[in-house]
Amino acid sequence: MRTFHIFNINPHLKNLLKDDYYPLYHSLSKIKDLKKDELSIGINIYEQVAMPFNKDKLSNALLKYYGECDFYSKFQNKHSYINKYRNEESYLRVGNAYIKLESNVSNPDFFKYLKSKHNLFVCDFENADYFLTDEL
């Protein structure tokens, strides 16, 4: 199962980094691994590189996009896409700070919708993988 953390990156930072996103990945990885007594530093860094999501708006947009799909279901801000024909099980949770996507495939169907959104940066911290959704 792969776990993707998806962040809404500051567009000015995206332009500044151009094609070398490793420093951004490294910074987000460090924030993820902070201890409780260091959280104020992490929040400060996070606010400089990323912007919060409007989770209700994004959740409703996902519902509208996938609403007619038989493989999709939604409960509150938790979305599921289970396609037995493709052998895919993907679970997406929309939060204010980031989106968490867990899937048993490398390219989950939820990326079809997310790639239309600009400035979304995907990190798979366990596999040291990172990319922008609009580059899929």
pLDDT in tens, the chain (136 residues): 999 999 999 998 888 888 899 999 999 999 999 988 888 888 998 999 999 999 999 999 999 999 999 999 999 889 999 999 999 999 999 999 999 999 999 999 999 999 998 899 999 999 999 999 988 8
Beta strands, E only, the chain: 2-9, 50-51, 72-75, 78-83, 88-94, 99-103, 120-124, 129-132
Amino acid occupying residue 113:
Y
Q: Which domains does the chain have, with CATH numbers?
A: 2-135 (3.30.310.250)
Assign 38 to helix, strand or coil: helix
CA distance linking residue 54 with residue 68, whole number of Å: 23
Full-model pTM: 0.93
